[in-house]
Amino acid sequence: MTGDRLTVGVITPHVAAGPEVELPAVTGGRIATIVSRTGSPPEAPQAPYRRGPSGHTELRASTESTALERAAATFAGGKLAAVVHASTTTGYVIGQREEAVLVERLSLRFAVPAVVSCAAAASALRTHGVVRVQLVHPPWFDDEFDELGAAYFRDQGFDVVVTKAAGLPDDPARVGPQVVIDWVERHVEDRTEAVFLAGNGFRVAGAVEELERRTGRLVVEANQALAWGILAATGAAREVPGHGRLLRASPPTP
């Protein structure tokens, strides 16, 4: 941490950019990132993730000791305020219990607070008293990830419906906030209390404020939830304007 800026180590199995773009944007530059990618090599196609069993193996591998040691080498020399594992799909695959173990391992290995994608979103929803949540998945999530996402949140007591954002571009770089605002407004379920825009490569934090205005619901986005979790875990409680209700009130200090 330098002055008012938090330097955060980001571990991710994904090639597509996500938290390194949105964490600084959402917090007005208060969070800076150092990224360690554990999956496909840089020359691989810019796919958000790999489908099928090999994809699951790659996601799990991003939580193992080899990946953490590689991240430690990447982060060496940087004074970290926190470390995050940024992958919604990894949380879906390993489940809430293994995710909690991952948080402990990360915190012990790097000696700083640790935050992970799905747990941050679930905590944000609980903090706002949400029971009925609609998961909006990007089109590159396959049906198995839809099922795993529903199971992840149901296991924690949420009443869940999953909606695939069909018709949006199947490429994170081509998805902008306005098309997401229009799509979600048309497809939001009447009974839901909140919407979770899942996927750390689904870079739509810029849609949150307008979606809340149009739908009257709490909207949580994967990287916005990570930012909220980082601020809470580090004790840097403060308001961050322009990115939804979650960040308008100072997050609770753990």
Residue 237: closest CA among 223, 222, 245, 247:
247
69 within domain boundaries: yes
Residues 6+ apart with CB under 8 A from 78: 7, 9, 34
- Whether 128 and 79 map to the same domain: the answer is no
- Whether 109 and 230 map to the same domain: the answer is yes
- Whether 12 and 111 map to the same domain: the answer is yes
Residue 250, pLDDT > 70, answer no
Mean pLDDT computed over 31-41: 85
Look at residue 1 in the predicted model and tell me its pLDDT: 42
H or E segment at 84?
A: strand 82-85
Mean pLDDT computed over 159-168: 96
Mean pLDDT computed over 189-214: 96
User: What percent of the chain has pLDDT above 90?
Assistant: 80
Measure the CA angle with vertex 187, ends 181 and 193; round to 5°.
Answer: 90
- Whether 152 and 74 map to the same domain: the answer is no
- Whether 138 and 197 map to the same domain: the answer is yes
Q: DSSP 3-state assignment of 163?
A: strand
- Averaged pLDDT score across all residues of the chain: 90
Mean pLDDT computed over 125-149: 96
User: CATH number for the domain including 131?
Assistant: 3.40.50.1860
Instruction: Give the number of domains in the chain.
Output: 2
Residue 198's domain comprises 122-221
CA dihedral 89, 189, 215, 208 (to 10 degrees): 10
- Whether 88 and 208 map to the same domain: the answer is no
- Whether 94 and 154 map to the same domain: the answer is no
User: What percent of the chain has pLDDT above 70?
Assistant: 90
Residue 9: closest CA among 119, 111, 99:
111
1 within domain boundaries: no
- Whether 227 and 113 map to the same domain: the answer is yes
254 within domain boundaries: no
177 within domain boundaries: yes
Look at residue 243 in the predicted model and tell me its pLDDT: 92
In tens, the pLDDT along 63-101 reads 999 999 999 999 998 899 999 999 999 999 999 999 999
Mean pLDDT computed over 108-128: 97
Q: In angstroms, how far is CA 133 from the centroid of its own chain?
A: 16
- Whether 90 and 175 map to the same domain: the answer is no
Q: In angstroms, how far is CA 96 from the centroid of its own chain?
A: 14
User: Residue 97 in contact with residue 156, Cβ under 8 Å?
Assistant: no
CA distance 159 to 207: 24
CA distance 108 to 105: 5
- Whether 83 and 175 map to the same domain: the answer is no
27 within domain boundaries: yes
Look at residue 248 in the predicted model and tell me its pLDDT: 86
Biggest alpha carbon distance in the chain?
50
Look at residue 45 in the predicted model and tell me its pLDDT: 39
Look at residue 144 in the predicted model and tell me its pLDDT: 95
Look at residue 43 in the predicted model and tell me its pLDDT: 34
- Whether 75 and 90 map to the same domain: the answer is yes
168 within domain boundaries: yes
Look at residue 51 in the predicted model and tell me its pLDDT: 52
- Whether 130 and 193 map to the same domain: the answer is yes
User: Residue 106 in contact with residue 82, Cβ under 8 Å?
Assistant: no
Say how many residues make up the chain: 254
Mean pLDDT computed over 155-177: 93
253 within domain boundaries: no
97 within domain boundaries: yes
